[in-house]
Amino acid sequence: MPAWVVVGPGDDAAVVTHERGALSVLTTDVQVEGIHFDRRFVPPAAIGHRALAVSLSDVAAMGATPRAALLSLVMPGTLEVDVVDGILDGVLALAARHRVALVGGNISRTPGPLVVDMTLTGSVHPRRILSRAGARPGDDVYVTGMIGDALVGLQSLQADPTSASPERETCRERYLRPEPRMRAGVLLGRNRAAAACMDLSDGLADGLRQIADASGVGMTIAADALPISTGARAWHEAHGRDPVMASIAGGDDYELLFTAHATQRGRLRGVLKHVGSLPITRIGVVTKGRDLVIRTAADDREVPSGFEHFR
C-alpha cells in the first residue's frame, strides 16, 4: 500500500490522506451480468479489468489522477472460486499499472446475476478540473483513439467467440480490455487544453449530446474525419450497415471527447507531444444553434440516439 493509505484493507474502514492542495474526485459504477457483460465470452480477468477501467475512464475525463478503489462482488451461489480469483486478478493487474490502491471491499451472495461494483477516488487540483459544461460556439471538437471498435468486438464475440481475423481480434481486445486514457486526461487538465471533456462509455452520439446539453450548444461533426478502424469499417459493410452511423452509435469505447477554444490550440499541441502513439483527431466544431449534425459529402444528418448496453 502507498504511504498515503494510513489504514488499508482489513479494518472497519480505510483511512487515506489528501494530496496537498488537491480536491477529491469520486465515482462509482456497477457491472451486472446479462446487462453489461456475458460470461460466455467475457473471461473473469476481463470482467475485473472492465469494472476498474470504466471508473478509471471517468476519473481521466475529469482531468484527475486515480488513487483508491473499493470493490464489492455480489455473487451467485454457483460461482466457482476460479472465477472470483480471475476477476480480482483483472482488477489488481490494471490497478497496479495505474497505481490505484485497492483499499477495501465486500463480498456477498445473491440468488440473482453476478454484480461487480466499483468505487474509485481520484485527486485533482482545482484549476485542472475538466467538466462537460465548458464548450463554446467556435470550439473545435476532438476525440482520442478510435471510435466503434468495441462495438464491433462485442458483435463479433456474440456472433462467434471462437475465431477472428487479426483486425477483429484488435476490436475484441478493445471491448474486453479497454485502455482508459489516463495520461491524455491528466495532460488536458494540467495544460488547461480542453474547454469541456467527457469519456465515451455510451458511444460518441451520447457523448456529443451530453456535452452539448451541459454547455447549451450544438455541434457539427464531419463524417469523413471520424477515426474508424479499417476492421470496424469492413465489419459493418459486410453486415449491410453504414460504418459511420454504426460507429457513432456504438458504446464501450472509453475514449475522451473534448472541445478546445482557438486560444487553447497551442496548449493542445503541447499535450499531443506527450501522449505517445495515441491519436487525437479533430472531428468537428461547436455551434451556437443547438442541432447535432453529422455532415457527409452527400447531406447533413441528425446524430443518432445513443447506445443501449448489451442485453
Cβ distance to Mg ion smaller for residue 100 or 293: 100
The tally of CA atoms less than 13 A away on the side-chain side of residue 278 is 22
**Nearest distance in Å: CB 77, Mg ion:** 33
Nearer to Mg ion, 57 or 247 (CB): 57
- Which residue lies nearer to Mg ion by CB, 58 or 253? 58
**Which residue in 29, 33, 149, 199 binds Mg ion (CB under 5 A)?**
199
**Cα–Cα distance, 86 to 19 (Å, whole number):** 32
Residue 207 vs 218, nearer CB to Mg ion = 207
Q: Which is nearer to Mg ion, 75 or 188 (CB)?
A: 188
Binding segment for Mg ion (CB under 5 A), chosen from 17-25, 126-134, 195-203, 241-249, is 195-203
Q: What are phi and psi of 282, to 5 degrees?
A: -80, 120
Residues 117-156, interacting with Mg ion (CB under 5 A): none
C-beta separation of 152 from 168 below 8 A: yes
Q: Which of 29, 33, 58, 253 binds Mg ion (CB under 5 A)?
A: 58
CB of 195 to Mg ion, least distance (A): 17
Residues 72-111 that bind Mg ion (CB under 5 A): none
Segment holding 27, helix H or strand E: strand 23-32
Q: Are 287 and 219 in contact (CB under 8 A)?
A: yes
Partnered with residue 219 across adjacent β-strands are 286, 292
**d(C-alpha 303, C-alpha 119), whole Å:** 32
Q: Please tell me the distance from the alpha carbon of residue 104 to that of residue 131, in angstroms, as a whole number.
A: 28
Residues 17-56 that bind Mg ion (CB under 5 A): none
Question: Cβ of residue 65: shortest distance to Mg ion, in angstroms?
Answer: 16
CA distance 302 to 290: 12
Q: How far is the CB of 105 from Mg ion (least distance, A)?
A: 22
Q: Which residues bind Mg ion (CB under 5 A)?
A: 58, 199
